[in-house]
Structure 1
Amino acid sequence: MMDNTKILLLDRFMRGETSPEEEQQLLAWFREVDS
């Protein structure tokens, strides 16, 4: 099951509301999921 925090962060990213630090967290998550 996915972490709800990551889903909320992804939603904010899609609306362009994330900080550069949050974007880095998402990129790390994407790399983790892809492995």
Structure 2
Amino acid sequence: MPKPATDPLPDNQVKPEPALEKRTRRTFSAEYKL
């Protein structure tokens, strides 16, 4: 699970994976909102 609380930047920078980027981006947005 991504840790937006510690990293204000999108996970795509930490994991530049095309497959995970889509999945991580969705989680990041949801977690960032909270």
Asked which structure has the greater CA Rg, the reply is 1
TM-score normalised according to structure 1 size: 0.41
